[in-house]
Structure 1
């Protein structure tokens, strides 16, 4: 009887504690955000397609999704939320798709509101799933591997880019006896997949930098015989011919796109607390232009909360200024002009609030 009373009292105290905790958290002030347009029109497509994800790491953890036209959506994560959070709640998608992308070896691509993922299935067959977030529709396709391609063990499929009805997939084979990279094109209408032949990649690692139609820019990396060093070569191929782009061999490119009908390659090359840099390479004239943007006007900016992204032919930047203001810019990489600049202002100027990322949809 005493044990029963003890358990009853303990249960009551536990629920009381959780209730007090919840009341305390919900009684705290929440941040209020105001959008200030500094330059440009927030209604233009390049601006309407982004929102800032801001995270409050304080006593009342909360996620904010903020568009630059002033819409704020918030999600609270309290103690009870964390207890019962589903480990597959990665995106708002059917449970089957969330399970499909849950393994650490599965990488996803989000493009134009659609999330793509691929996995190796039994008997060497490949499964592609993609979820249209706008239409809330899930698609599944299972195909046979291209002729001559056999994977065993750890294989990582990396959806790279969709172009028309084709999804390009970059694959890393981690089998110790067959380590290497391969590139494939998945025809989403015919439900077939074929190997993309990239010349000069035999026995070397390669990285695809950009795709536009049939044009593909890529870099190869290989060891230099007798030296503790690697060589890097850059090429563009249209499926019939291949051309060397030697001006890019010595540049570290970490985000890149092939734009302007495949005539120009834009790539971010460096970023720090005060500025970031990018290059524009004209493939026809072989002219290389260096560009940069200076953030010195924001003194004391929190570099750990700085965000840079190249997507759909424009550059997006986000910066935590350290003064309760998150500065967002949209930049034309060809001219270097800032086509939009806005400030997301936090009324409470919380120190625990950070810019998580800028999401392009």
Structure 2
């Protein structure tokens, strides 16, 4: 069977070869009607581009690398999926690299992505500021501040806003001593959530004390025992702001194991509005991040960066969040 060429597509579509090329590369002017007509012909004929030849001709690989610290995390997997869908629509493939929060693994992946000549890199979260030693690859940071701020764009949910509103919601529902539950490692997003929590206390004339307000969690198996010791030491605690829904669910389990009731004895608000929040008992109040907006902004700015070869202005783009109140933080 004769292989369909771009010339055949143009003839069958009744347009010029240049127009077909513009539609395929999503570059230049053409109507939506023309685009649909050409794409229908491409689908009918099973036309496949020679991406190797295209890459050589345009000096582009049409691929983007994504560094993610933990693909099992709901927020990370959700935003990665949406970024991948956006990029696919624009003709880009993605290479997803799960670093496991390991700096050596991250460095190895960065070198691998560079060797594969990716057109750009998206860096999602991480404990330390992102350091990239190469100026030849455009990159965008999500929830992880770059060291060289003049080299990129930083896109983040408004973690401060989410934490502030969550904490104040607990206080407005009668809580006098809300504590914060967070990991013993701190990313830039966690630091902003911690700041928002403390400022909400300050606004409501509640003095912050680390020993009675801060509960840290690592990978320990004895979280229930640690929680019990914390509650015995700080018998005023009546509520928790957990910096993500996974930690909130950890609290649910341990508090119930200790014979406590939610929300009667302790009110809880999480962060991320993961599926867990909808199906827990009671349902979990949580801060919802706008992953659609984050994905759209990331892809648009990266593609603009790739096309122009430069960032015109360094920006920090904060995407608003929304507090979703459910039964875990409401008065009965």
- Normalised by the length of structure 2, the TM-score is 0.24
TM-score using structure 1 length: 0.23
- Bigger relative contact order, structure 1 or 2 (CA pairs below 8 A, ≥6 apart): 2
- The structure with more helix, counted as a fraction of residues: 2
